[in-house]
Amino acid sequence: MKTTTTVLLALALGLPPVLAACSSEESQAVHKFGYTGDIGPEHWGDLNSDWILAKTGQQQSPIDLVGAADADVPDLAISYQEAPLEIVNNGHAIQVNYPSGSHASLGGSEYELQQFHFHTPSEHRIDGRHAAMELHLVHKNAAGELAVVAVMIQAGAEHPLLSKLVSQIPAEAGPAMAKDDVRINASEFLPADLTSFRYAGSLTTPPCSEGVGWIVLRSPIEASQAQVDGFKAAISGNNRPLQELHGREILVGK
Ligand SMILES: [Zn+2]
């Protein structure tokens, strides 16, 4: 069953079918990890037996997106609804939880938006270049498989949606905060051109589960330096180092 669904995911992403390890995301919040020192990324695979893929996995993320092959990839269609803001500083990222009803469709297969969060600076690189920030829009399908749409954010013009978020960032880690008077729509983060890199990868935080379909948009969006600094003031340096490609194919198309 797992093999079947993994193959379907691979097909939906326009990737050759591969067997991936079982994914069990979101269950390890009690274990502490970080980005420096003895809980830093080079130690994640030793901190918890359930995080072993962090050091043994062959399909880990992030990667440097170089040498992508032009391909006729399955269509990406995004339909996000407006939602009340629920924001959390979980100690390793600023995250916004999204209510049900917003979707990404990949080749006709539906994935529901669960949450989005930010890494400062970017985790992926495009042709060797970091961006100031990287947005991860995390989606899950009915089989529990994950697809992440990543958007690079470079310093430039102020972004209207980020303005709403920056003023609400909890300075300290803690529980999610509902801000019902602040309405947001994650579709404001999408560039006009949805040309994207597609590859099979993993969560970039423990347990680093594989079988994650990555869709990294090639066109960046912009945020002002003050907005970038607003995120940095709460959490910075939450970018896992680049991982080995191990022969994976990177496709690009739209
Ligand atoms: Zn992320």
- Domain ranges (residues) in the chain: 2-253
Task: Please tell me the least confidently modeled range out of 10-19, 121-130, 137-146, 154-163.
Answer: 10-19
46 vs 19: CA distance, rounded Å: 24
What is the distance in A from the centroid of ligand 1 to the CA of 136?
Answer: 5
Whether residue 6 is predicted with pLDDT greater than 70 in this model: the reply is no
- Compare 98 and 3 and report the one with higher pLDDT: 98
Rounded mean pLDDT of the chain? 91
36's tokens: 């420096």
**Going by C-beta distance under 8 Å and a sequence separation of 6 or more, which residues neighbour residue 63?**
124, 199, 201, 242, 243, 244, 245, 248, 250
179 close to 87: Cβ distance less than 8 angstroms: yes
164 vs 141: CA distance, rounded Å: 29
- Predicted TM-score (pTM) of the model is 0.89
| Residue 20 pLDDT | 35
What is the distance in A from the centroid of ligand 1 to the CA of 135?
Answer: 7
What is the distance in A from the centroid of ligand 1 to the CA of 181?
Answer: 26
Whether residue 21 is predicted with pLDDT greater than 80 in this model: the reply is no
Q: How many CA atoms lie within 13 A of 138 on its CB side?
A: 20
Task: Please tell me the least confidently modeled range out of 10-14, 202-206, 225-229.
Answer: 10-14
Chain segment 61-85, per-residue pLDDT in tens: 999 999 999 999 999 999 999 999 9
Residue in the block written with tokens 């990543």: 150
16's tokens: 């050759």
181 vs 142: CA distance, rounded Å: 31
Categorise residue 91: left if φ over 0, alpha if ψ from -120 to 50, beta otherwise: left
What is the distance in A from the centroid of ligand 1 to the CA of 213?
Answer: 13
Angstrom CA distances, 248 to 41, 193, 244, stand at: 22, 25, 9
Q: What residue type is assigned to position 67 of the chain?
A: G
What is the distance in A from the centroid of ligand 1 to the CA of 62?
Answer: 9
Residues with a known catalytic role = 92, 117, 119, 123, 136, 204
Burial class (CB in 10 A: 0-12, 13-18, 19+), 17: middle
**Among candidate residues 175, 209, 201, the one with its CA nearest the CA of residue 28:** 209
Q: Is the domain 2-253 a CATH 3.10.200.10 member?
A: yes
191 close to 151: Cβ distance less than 8 angstroms: yes
What is the distance in A from the centroid of ligand 1 to the CA of 207?
Answer: 12
What is the distance in A from the centroid of ligand 1 to the CA of 204?
Answer: 6
Q: Strand 94-97 to strand 83-89: parallel, antiparallel, or no bridges (unpaired)? A: antiparallel
| Residue 45 pLDDT | 97
51 vs 49: CA distance, rounded Å: 5
| Residue 30 pLDDT | 54
How many CB atoms are located within 10 Å of the residue 69 CB? 9
What is the distance in A from the centroid of ligand 1 to the CA of 67?
Answer: 23
